Amino acid sequence: MQNDAGEFVDLYVPRKCSASNRIIGAKDHASIQINIAEVDKVTGRFTGQFKTYAICGAIRRMVRFLFLHKATVVHFC
């Protein structure tokens, strides 16, 4: 497909996981996208810009398992 300037562009650009660089598919309903605000170091105020992170469902499951496993081990020790 071409845009108004005559350049070739893709119809669909899939998101990629920020942690694993995997493509996040359309059926990955466990994936999340987080916007983290950039803050001025001096004033502590929001600068109007943010960084976007996309995390796929597989990474979320791994982190959840590790967190639950660690909490269980600490609880029983």
- How confident is residue 1, by pLDDT bands cut at 50, 70 and 90? confident
- Please provide the DSSP assignment of 8-69 as one string: B--S---EE-TTT--EE-TT-TT-EEEEEEEE-TTT--EEEEEEEEEE-HHHHHHHHHHHHH
Report the CATH number of the 15-76 domain. 3.30.1230.20
- How confident is residue 72, by pLDDT bands cut at 50, 70 and 90? low
Task: Please give the model's pTM, rounded to 2 decimal places.
Answer: 0.68
Taking only the tens place, the pLDDT of each residue in 3-44 is 899 888 888 888 999 999 999 998 999 999 999 999 999 999
